[in-house]
Amino acid sequence: MSNRTEKLGKNDLAALVAADIAPGSFVNLGIGQPTLVSNYLRPEQHVTLHTENGMLGMGPEASGEEVDPDLINAGKIPVTELPGAAYFHHADSFAIMRGGHLDVCVLGAFQVSASGDLANWHTGAPDAIPAVGGAMDLATGAKDVYVMMSLFTKDGLSKLVKECSYPLTGVGCVTRVYTNEAVFLLKEDGVRVRDTFGTTFEELAAKMDIPLIRAADDSQH
């Protein structure tokens, strides 16, 4: 298990997720924090990014003269295209998602349970606008589901919980949780802490209501 002395910012966390994606993977990046991952993928990884609105071969976010208002990701953020990029119908895009053709999807979340349940579309608040979008298709169809989120709410409550209290997007689908304070691997034998940032394993264990297992050095990835 590795330890860093400071909590990770969003860009540092995105770089960490990007580095963990296996070469040659087909990957979908969800709306919000996950979109930052595209900026840190290295060409030698040969990762192909899929976006829900119908594109394969998406590149990093666009800026300046690169911005094309017709070239956006599912979160309406201007993006670039890589050589060989392809465009297709929305229905075909969902067929890719539902058909098990994605190796990894990276999603945001309101809560994740210790058993890998995902809640990321509605908090139940009366003034909230529920919007599940394609998250349920991604959560069910991707081979691995990585979550990026802050570990604690503003009230200090852990978002990694024993059981989700919010409506579920998917059941038993999340395999890893990347947060500003730690990386968690959700395994059959429990929740393993792979890395910590600005905190210790003991401090995390004291603040969370689920049992934690210290990951061995040979099972970090």
Active site residues: 52
Side chain identity, residue 146? Y
* Phi then psi dihedrals of residue 9, to 5 deg: -80, 175
C-beta separation of 118 from 109 below 8 A = yes
What six digits make up the tokens of 36? 């930052």
Is the Cα torsion angle 99, 100, 106, 109 positive or negative in sign? Answer: positive
* Phi then psi dihedrals of residue 128, to 5 deg: -80, 145
